[in-house]
Structure 1
Amino acid sequence: MHDEAVHDPLRGRVAVITGAARGIGSALARQLSGVGMHVALLGREERSLHQTAAVLPGPTLCVEADVTDQDALDRAAEQVARELGDASVVVANAGVAAGGPFRQTDADLWRRVIDVNLIGAANTARAFLPQLARTHGYFLQIASTAAFGSAPMMSAYCASKAGAESFARALRGEVEPDGVTVGIAYVHWTGTDMISGLEDHPVLRALRSHQPWFARRVHSPDQVAGWLTAGVHRRALQIYAPPWLRWCQPLRPLFPAVVTRVARRELRRSTAEELAVDIGVMGAGGRADWDAYSSDPRRSRPPQ
C-alpha cells in the first residue's frame, strides 16, 4: 500500500476545482488532497473555501472567483501556475439550480443558471487548457442525469447540464491531439444542499418516487467524490456516480418520454399555488451566488 502511494500518478500534481466551497466540490478537494495532490479551490464563498482548505493535508490555494467572469478565471489560472504550478487536473464542478415554472421564473435567474453551469464550464476550460496542454492533463466536466431526460420545472438546470455534456464531448475531440483527456461525470441524487428541499418539489418528488429502489438512494458527497477520484485516476472518459448509471446510457432515448409522462401526471394534480411555492434558487450555494450576482454594481451600469 505504501508503494502504491509513492507511485500514485496524481501525487505532487495540481488539481483545480471550481465550486469547491461546499458539496461535491469540497468533498472532492478532500479526496484529491488525500492522495497527494496540491489543490486549488475556486468559488464564490471565500470563507467556506478557506474552511475546506484548512482541513486538507497538502498544499492548497483558495481563489474567490466567479466562473462567469473570464477575466477573473484567467487571473486565477495565472495565480495557480505561479503559486502551485501548472494544473494537471481541472474539474468544472461549479453549478447552481433554480426550480419553478419557466413563465414565472425571473429571466435573469434563468439565465444565471445557464451562465454558471454551461458558460462557466467553457470559461474554466478556456482559462486552464494552456496549462493542461503543457501537463497532458485531464479536464473533468461535472454533468448530471438531468441531461438524460429534461424535467419540467427545472428547465434551466436541465438545459445547462445537457449543454455542458455536449460541450465536453465536442471539446474532447479538439484537445485530444494535445494530450488532454476530457471526462464527463454523470451524477445522480447527491445529498448536497441543492436538493435539501427535494420533497417540496412536486415534479422531482414524483420522478424519484417512480424510480426503482436503488435509483432513489441519495448518496453522500463523500461517496460521490470517491467515484470521481477513481475516475480521475483512470482519466476516464465517462464517470458514473453511482456506477450502475453506465447501464442507463443505451436507454437514454426512452427517458424523455418517461419523464414527460410522469411529470404531466404530477402537474395535472398540482395547483398553480403549489407549483409557485417552488420558484427560486435551490440550495445555500446557489443563494450565495445569486446574492453576490444581484448585488454586483456592474449589473446596473449602462452599456458602453
Structure 2
Amino acid sequence: MQDSPLEDRTVVVTGAARGVGAALARELARRGARLALIGHELGALESLAASLPTPALAVGADVTDGDALERAAVLVRSRLGPPSVVVANAGIAQGGPFALTDMASWRRVIDVNITGSALTASAFLPDLVRTSGYHLQIASLASIAAAPLMSAYCASKAGVEAFAHALRAEVAHQGVAVGIAYLNWTDTDMIRDADRHAVLRELRARMPPPVRSVLPPELVATRLARAVERRRTAVYVPAPLRLVQATRAALPAVIMRRSRRALPRLEAAGQLTPTGLLGAGGLADDVEARRRDLPDGG
C-alpha cells in the first residue's frame, strides 16, 4: 500500500498469534510497518512473522509479566527501532454463571485483559513519548453493555476502556494519542468456541441484527489499521456500535428485563454452566498458567 504513514514505522501488537491480532499484523505489514509480535505462543508468532512482507520480530512474553514485557521492549528497540504504535490486543474470555465460576479463572481474565494492557502500555510508553506515538486499546461491545454470564470479560473490558480514557488525559500534552477500539463479534477461535455453548450462542442471537452479526477478522483489521493511521480517539466495528454508545445509560435496565425472562428457561434446561477459558487462545493461556505453577517454572 502506497503512502501510508505507517511505512517504515515499528508497530507492537500483543496477542498476535491468531484472530484479530494476527489479521491486524498482516494488514499493518501490508501498509509497510515493521511488526513486533508479542505473546506466549512463540511458535505461532514466529510463523506469522516469517510470512509477513516487512521486517517482523516474534517475542515470547506473557502480558501479565511486567519484567518480560520490559525485556521485550528492549529487544524491539534494538531490532526494529522505537515503536510509534502499540496495540494492546491480548485478551481472553470465559462464560457462565458467576456463582458457579472458578474464581482463579475469573481472576485470570481480569489479569490478562486489564493488568496485561496496563503493563503493555507501561513497557512501551517511553517509546511512544519519544516518537509522539499512538496507543490503541482493544475494547469491546462489552465495555459499553455488560451482559449476564460474562462477568469477568465485561468487567475487564469496562476496565480497559476507563484505563485508556485516563491514560489519554495523562499523555496528551506529551504528544501521545490514545484510542479505544470497540469491537463486536468477530470470527475468531474465541467466538467459535463461545457458539458451542448454548447459553452464549443464545446471548448473541438475541441481540439486534446490526450487532449480532459475526464479522471476518480481515474486515476488522482493515478498520483498525485505518484508525491507527488516523490516530483515532475511538473506532467502532461495526459502525452501528456507535449508536449503542449513545444509549448506554439505558442498557442495564433493558438487559436486566431480558435476562429475567431468558435465564430461568436456560437454567431449567441445564444450560447455565461455566465454559472455562474460551478458544485456542484460552487453552494456550491455561497451559501457560499451569507451566508457571510448576516449582521450576516448567
Q: Aligned residue for 1:85?
A: 81
Structure 1 pair 299–132 and aligned structure 2 pair: CA distance change class (3 A): farther
Residue 121 (structure 1) aligned to one of 117, 120, 128: 117
Q: Aligned residue for 1:191?
A: 187
In 2: Cα distance, 1:199 partner to 1:145 partner = 17
For the 8 Å contact 2:148–2:259, the answer to whether it is kept is yes
Q: CA deviation at 1:79?
A: 0.3
Q: Aligned residue for 1:140?
A: 136
Q: Aligned residue for 1:274?
A: 271
Q: CA deviation at 1:279?
A: 2.7
Deviation track 1:147-177 (CA, whole Å, cap 9, x = no partner) reads: 1221111110000000000000000000001
| Structure 1 residue runs without a partner (length 5+) | none
Q: Aligned residue for 1:56?
A: 52
1:29 matched to 2:25? The reply is yes
1:16 match: secondary structure: strand
1:164 matched to 2:160? The reply is yes
Q: Aligned residue for 2:16?
A: 20
Q: CA deviation at 1:190?
A: 0.4
Q: CA deviation at 1:300?
A: 9.3
**CA RMSD across the alignment:** 1.7
In 2: Cα distance, 1:46 partner to 1:163 partner = 27
TM-score of the pair, normalised by structure 1: 0.93
1:87 match: secondary structure: coil
Q: CA deviation at 1:19?
A: 0.1
Q: Aligned residue for 2:287?
A: 291
1:72 match: secondary structure: helix
Mapping of 1:122-271 within 5 angstroms? 122-271=118-267
Query: Please, which moves more after superposition, 87-96 or 196-205?
Result: 196-205
Number of residues of Structure 1 aligned to a counterpart in Structure 2: 296
AA in 2 matched with 1:77:
A
Deviation track 1:104-157 (CA, whole Å, cap 9, x = no partner) reads: 211111100000000000000000000000000000000000112211111100
For the 8 Å contact 2:63–2:119, the answer to whether it is kept is yes
1:218 match: secondary structure: coil
1:66 matched to 2:62? The reply is yes
Q: CA deviation at 1:185?
A: 0.1
Counting aligned pairs with the same residue, the percent is 53
Q: CA deviation at 1:208?
A: 2.4
For the 8 Å contact 1:41–1:63, the answer to whether it is kept is yes
Q: CA deviation at 1:252?
A: 0.9
1:68 match: secondary structure: coil
Structure 1 pair 298–75 and aligned structure 2 pair: CA distance change class (3 A): farther
In 2: Cα distance, 1:87 partner to 1:150 partner = 33
For the 8 Å contact 2:199–2:266, the answer to whether it is kept is no
| Structure 2 residue runs without a partner (length 5+) | none
For the 8 Å contact 1:147–1:165, the answer to whether it is kept is yes
Structure 1 pair 16–181 and aligned structure 2 pair: CA distance change class (3 A): same
AA in 2 matched with 1:17:
V
Q: CA deviation at 1:64?
A: 0.6
1:271 match: secondary structure: helix
For the 8 Å contact 1:203–1:266, the answer to whether it is kept is no
For the 8 Å contact 1:95–1:116, the answer to whether it is kept is yes
Q: Aligned residue for 2:98?
A: 102
For the 8 Å contact 1:144–1:186, the answer to whether it is kept is yes
Deviation track 1:67-89 (CA, whole Å, cap 9, x = no partner) reads: 00000000000000010000000
For the 8 Å contact 1:190–1:218, the answer to whether it is kept is yes
